[in-house]
Structures are given as structure tokens and as C-alpha cells.
Amino acid sequence: MGTGGRTKYNRTAQGLPKAHHMDAACVGASTPELRNTHIVPLETRAVGRDNRQMARVDSYGFPKGHRSRKKVHFGFQTGDIVKDVFRLASIPASL
């Protein structure tokens, strides 16, 4: 495990800028000489994909009303008794 002092020494010995991805490459005793120092890591941003909010809130943050839960999924709901039809011919031969 590397220390902060060793990481800084390895980074300054190679003349690298202080960046998180450069520090990650300079951790430990066996730090290789870095050749591609111009590569910048991919930056990502979280963008919402769904709305899992269970209750609406007012302007003060207090709950205003609850979402009604979806009780039926694909025509089935909790407690339904179903019969599963499993055909052996549908299994690939590699299994």
C-alpha cells in the first residue's frame, strides 16, 4: 500500500500534474514511467432516468401526498397462482 508522500514523490519525479488519475498511477513502490500523460479520463454526469419519489413534497420539503403503488404487473399480482409450462425442447444443446 502506498502513502501520500510516496505518491507525491513519484508524481514530482516524473513531472506530472497533480490530478486524481495521475496520482492513481503513481501509487506504490513500483511506479512505471508514464508515457501517455496527455490522456484525460472520461467525465460522466448523472442524469435521472426514473422517478422513485414515494411522496410529493411541498415547498418546505414536507410530504404532501403519497404515490399509489402499482398493484398489477403484466397482468399478475401478489398471491396469484400460476402454472409454469417448461418445455425441454427449448433448452439449447450446449447446456
Query: Which tens digits make up the pLDDT trace of 34-90?
Result: 777 677 778 888 877 777 777 888 889 898 887 777 778 788 888 888 888 777 666
pLDDT band at 11; cut points 50, 70, 90: confident
Residue 15 in any domain: the answer is: yes
Looking at the 3D structure of the chain, how many domains does it have? 1
Containing structural domain, residue 13: 1-29
28: left (phi over 0), alpha (psi -120 to 50) or beta: left
Let me know if residue 7 belongs to a domain: yes
In a domain, 25, yes or no: yes
Determine, yes or no, domain membership for 83: no
d(CA 23, CA 3) in angstroms, rounded, equals 11
**Residue 19 domain flag:** yes
In a domain, 54, yes or no: no
Residue 39 lies in a domain: no
On whether residue 60 sits in a domain, the answer given is no
